[in-house]
Amino acid sequence: MIRVLCTALNAESGPHFQILADAGHECHVVDRSLDLWNPAVLSRAIQDYDAVIAGSEPWPPDVIASSGRLRVIARAGVGFDAVNLAACDDHRIVVATTPGCNHHSVAEQAIAMLMAVGRGFPALDQEVRRGEWNRNPWPRVWGRTIGLVGLGRIGQATAIRAKGLGLKVIAFDPAPPTAFAAEHGVQLVPLEILITQSDFISLHLPVTPATRHMINDESISRMKPGVVIINTSRGPLIDEPALIRALQSGKVRGAGLDVFAVEPLPLDSPLINMPNVLLSGHVAGLDNESHDATWEMGAQIILKLLRGDWPADCIQNLKGCNDWKW
DSSP track, 281-301: -S-TT--HHHHHHHHHHHHHH
26 included as an active-site residue:
no
Q: In what order do the strands lie in the sheet with 26-29?
A: 26-29, 3-6, 51-54, 72-75, 94-96
Per annotation, catalytic residue among 234, 240, 253, 291: 234
Phi/psi for 94 (5° steps) reads -75, 135
Q: What is the pLDDT along the chain (326 residues), one digit of tens a residue?
A: 999 999 998 999 999 999 999 999 999 999 999 999 999 999 999 999 999 999 989 999 999 999 999 999 999 998 898 999 999 999 999 999 999 999 999 999 999 999 999 999 999 999 999 999 999 999 999 999 999 999 999 999 999 999 999 999 999 999 999 999 999 999 999 999 999 999 999 999 999 999 999 999 999 999 999 999 999 999 999 999 999 999 999 999 999 999 999 999 999 999 999 999 999 999 999 999 999 999 999 999 999 999 999 999 999 999 988 899 99
Percentage with pLDDT > 90 across the chain: 97
Active site residue 234: yes
Catalytic residue among 16, 25, 282, 291: 282
% residues pLDDT > 70 (the chain): 100
Say if 3-101+287-306 and 103-279 have the same CATH topology. Answer: yes
Question: Can you give the residue ranges of every domain in the chain?
Answer: 3-101+287-306, 103-279
Which residue in 192, 218, 263, 289 is the catalytic one?
Answer: 263
- The whole-angstrom separation of Cα 83 and Cα 54 is 10
Per CATH, is 103-279 categorized as 3.40.30.10?
A: no
- Let me know if 263 is a catalytic residue: yes
Q: Convert the pLDDT of each residue in 91-148 to its tens digit.
A: 999 999 999 999 999 999 999 999 999 999 999 999 999 999 999 999 999 999 999 9
Asked whether the beta carbons of 76 and 8 are under 8 A apart, the reply is yes
Architecture (CATH level 2) of domain 3-101+287-306:
3-Layer(aba) Sandwich (3.40)
pLDDT of residue 79: 87
